[in-house]
Amino acid sequence: MSDHGKIRELLALSAADALTRAEEEQVMNHLRTCPDCSAEVDRWRLLAAGMRRLPTPQPRPVIVERARAQAAIRLAEEAEHRWHRIVMMSVILFAWAMTLISWPVVKLVSGGILGMLDPGLNHAWIAFAIFTTIVWASGGAAAVFLSLQQRRERSLA
Amino acid sequence: MGLESEVAQLQRGDLDALSALLARYQNRLYRYLLRLVREPAEAEDLFQQTWVRVAEKIRQYDSKRNFEAWLFTVARNIAIDHLRRIRPESLDEPIPGMPGESPGTRLPSGERPVLDGIMDRERSGRLAQALELLPVSQREVLTLRFEEEMKLEEIADVIDAPLSTVKTRLRRGLDRLRNTLETNYPGEVWQ
């Protein structure tokens, strides 16, 4: 493609201010010596100016107000979810802490101070481990069930 | 209150910041959505969905990123999903024919054109109609460049495409737009 042809390809982008500085300089240099391209770029500039002057349609005020109300509700819901997550995490951490602390207590009660030093498992330990597992599994299942129910209710709302 | 502080306050759940951002962007965002989907009722629905999505995602917004680009990306994703649902064929396809009165060119109620402006208004109407005939991919680049006055890098960010793609769509869109106008309204000056 000749220089003229290459420059002509750039004229629309020049009118859109979408060329690099080097490309723009190249176009400007060519325009000084080529009346044909100069007239062509003027036509592109008129079109670009027309595009920039298109009227701005506006949303109806009731729609803006509705968008604001819906977004405000969602902001409040998001804040509530974050708070729920914090509470849930705190409860879980507390429950784990209590569980871990209660193990040596059970061992102390079931075997005395010497029993705490005994690394072996006795019946009380095994019963406690089973009990803890059941409690945690039930709690986890309840939390998952409640979360799914809440999500379903939210999607229906 | 500046844009950055409005965004930061919205991230903390401030409703005044929400109102300020809505006031700041309502016309531009609605115009962009209307250019994409062309139907005012759909654009209004998407406008509301966009602000709800903004409320959902604002805490994930990275303040190092340009907020406008982020906001228009949110709106674009919602609009593109909508267009894919209602018009599953390629979004790069042009719209055939020349429509009658274009919803996208309607002006706010209460605005009455003065005599001197009638010709300008008619030309703008025709230009907006021709714009609507472009494929969505070209139409959105033209509206982001000329109406939103975004830099090419910002447009690339919004449409998640390389700069070269933005330039190609811009050039092809302008070519097609001019061709449509010159075919339908020969001799008209499009300023």
Q: Which residues contact A37 (CB under 8 A, 6 or more apart)?
A: A4, A7, A8, A11, A30, A31
A49 closest CB neighbour out of B30, B170, B191? B191
Answer yes or no: are the C-beta atoms of B180 and B133 closer than 8 Å. yes
pLDDT of residue B70: 95
Chain A residues near residue B52 by CB distance under 8 angstroms: 67, 70-71, 74
Counted across chains A and B, CB pairs separated by less than 8 A come out at 132
> Same domain for B84 and B162?
no
pLDDT of residue B99: 46
> Same domain for A95 and A46?
no
Q: Choose the final residue of a domain: B88, B105, B135.
A: B88
Chain B residues near residue A59 by CB distance under 8 angstroms: 26-27, 30, 43-44, 47
pLDDT of residue B121: 75
Answer yes or no: are the C-beta atoms of A41 and A14 closer than 8 Å. yes
As a whole number, mean pLDDT of residues B23-32 equals 95
A16 closest CB neighbour out of B54, B145, B147? B145
Gap from B63 CA to chain A (nearest CA, Å): 18
Q: Choose the final residue of a domain: B60, B88, B116.
A: B88
Q: Do A59 and B27 touch (CB under 8 A)?
A: yes
A70 within a domain of the structure (yes/no): no
> Same domain for B154 and B70?
no
CATH number of the domain residue B45 falls in:
1.10.1740.10
Given a cut of 60, whether residue B112 has pLDDT beyond it is no
> Same domain for B61 and B129?
no
Confidence of residue B103 (pLDDT cuts 50, 70, 90): very low
pLDDT of residue B91: 63
User: Which secondary structure element, helix H or strand E, spans residue B40, and what is its range?
Assistant: helix B40-57
> Same domain for A48 and A101?
no
3-state secondary structure chain A: CCHHHHHHHHHHHHHCCCCCHHHHHHHHHHHHHCHHHHHHHHHHHHHHHHHHCCCCCCCCHHHHHHHHHHHHHHHHHHHHHHHHHHHHHHHHHHHHHHHHHHHHHHHHHHHHHHHHHCCCCCHHHHHHHHHHHHHHHHHHHHHHHHHHHHHHHHHHC
> Same domain for B81 and B100?
no
pLDDT of residue B113: 47
Q: Do B26 and A59 touch (CB under 8 A)?
A: yes
Domain limits for position A13: 3-52
- The least confident of B97-106, B119-128, B181-190 is B97-106
Taking only the tens place, the pLDDT of each residue in B28-74 is 999 999 999 999 999 999 999 999 999 999 999 998 889 999 999 99
Answer with the residue of higher pLDDT: B163 or A127. Answer: B163
ipTM: 0.79
Residue B11: what are its φ and ψ, rounded to 5°?
-65, -25
Given a cut of 60, whether residue A14 has pLDDT beyond it is yes
- The total of structural domains in chain A comes to 2
A57 closest CB neighbour out of B30, B59, B142? B30
Domain limits for position B173: 93-191
Confidence of residue B167 (pLDDT cuts 50, 70, 90): very high
The Cα–Cα gap between B74 and B90 comes to 21
Taking only the tens place, the pLDDT of each residue in A94-124 is 888 887 787 777 777 766 666 666 666 667 6
CATH number of the domain residue B145 falls in:
1.10.10.10
Q: Do B55 and A74 touch (CB under 8 A)?
A: yes
- The total of structural domains in chain B comes to 2
